[in-house]
Amino acid sequence: MSTTELKANFHKLIDGIDDEDQLRDLYEVVAEYAYKNGELDALTPDQIKRIYDSLEQVERGEGIPNAVVMQEMKQWLKK
């Protein structure tokens, strides 16, 4: 799987999480990993804004349920 495909799948997984506590837990894990690896320093203000915008979209219920994402992935993997 290419980097682009991994990123797209990761975004779909995040979009499918509706539970705020789970999102916060995931965010903390990813943020800690990025911080330890110096990745947060590389984020632009626009990228940071887009991350927060995405989290707000999920809070408004604009995400894709995880079950739907998993089904789409299964179908995609069969191709």
pLDDT digits (tens, 9 = 90+) for 10-64: 888 888 888 888 888 888 888 778 777 776 567 777 887 888 888 888 888 888 8
Helix/strand/coil for 31? helix
**Residue range 66-74: average pLDDT?**
86
Structure tokens at 48: 């940071």
Q: What is residue 56's predicted lDDT score, i.e. its pLDDT?
A: 84
Structure tokens at 46: 């626009």
Closest CA to 13 of 71, 60, 52: 71
Question: What does the alpha-carbon distance between residue 7 and residue 59 come to, in Å, rounded to a whole number?
Answer: 21
Q: Are 17 and 69 in contact (CB under 8 A)?
A: no
17 φ/ψ sector (left φ>0, alpha ψ -120 to 50, else beta)? beta
Structure tokens at 72: 């789409």
Hey, where are the domains in the chain?
3-78
